[in-house]
Chains A and B, each alone.
Chain A
Amino acid sequence: NAGVTQTPKFRVLKTGQSMTLLCAQDMNHEYMYWYRQDPGMGLRLIHYSVGEGTTAKGEVPDGYNVSRLKKQNFLLGLESAAPSQTSVYFCASSPSGGAFETQYFGPGTRLLVL
């Protein structure tokens, strides 16, 4: 099992450019999440999905869009990147979203917006 994988590992964008971050999991998990990690601010939930074809907003959704067309994949899009979106992005998944469940994290994508 590869677990949760993220593509790319690192990316540099110019302000206004767009990009898509890909998350894939091979554990047949229903729930998937996108977080951003910023110094001094912990992890903040951007969007999440409770199953194939569904998405929902988290704590900081503005400037991002997501799609879950296949159960194993969760895409995070930035339509017009801004320097404030410079961050490390983590994808995670969990079996069925219960509050007691472990979330399994990917290795992260480091994004720099100039």
Chain B
Amino acid sequence: GDSVTQMEGPVTLSEEACLTINCTYTATGYPSLFWYVQYPGEGLQLLLKATKADDKGSNKGFEATYRKETTSFHLEKGSVQVSDSAVYFCALIPNAGKSTFGDGTTLTVKP
């Protein structure tokens, strides 16, 4: 079946450091890939997405590229801020009834 493997956390960085959170997937067909972010005490919200191979999703300085050859969708940001502290989820959604989320990676950014 479909699966998502996400880099284990927690991840602690200093402000302005570079961030990479790895995400690899196993799926049949051509699913859409998503990164969701969950700030403390809140629900998940979409950070970025990509719907086909080689697409790059970007938002708020975060980027991720849909790599079919390596079945990956790694999340990157060049310079993190304290306000980026949150839990990040990689998700694979081939259709509405079969969403698969990763376990989440907790990021803490220190001033």
Contacts and interface: CB of A to CB of B under 8 A. Distances in A.
A50 B45 contact: no
B101 A43 contact: yes
Size category, B interface? 20 to 34
Nearest to A98: B96
A105 B44 CA distance: 6
Nearest to A91: B43
B51 A100 contact: yes
Size category, A interface? 20 to 34
Interface string A80-96: 00000000001010100
A102 B48 CA distance: 9
B95 A99 contact: yes
A100 B31 CA distance: 8
Interface string A5-23: 0000000000000000000
A100 B97 contact: no
B43 A99 contact: no
B102 A42 contact: yes
A41 B103 contact: yes
A45 B97 contact: yes
A99 B103 contact: no
A107 B99 contact: no
24 contacts: A35-B101, A42-B101, A42-B102, A42-B103, A43-B44, A43-B99, A45-B99, A48-B96, A58-B97, A98-B96, A99-B94, A99-B96, A100-B32, A102-B34, A102-B46, A103-B44, A103-B46, A103-B93, A103-B99, A105-B43, A106-B43, A107-B41, A107-B42, A107-B43
A107 to B, nearest CB: 5
A71 B91 CA distance: 26
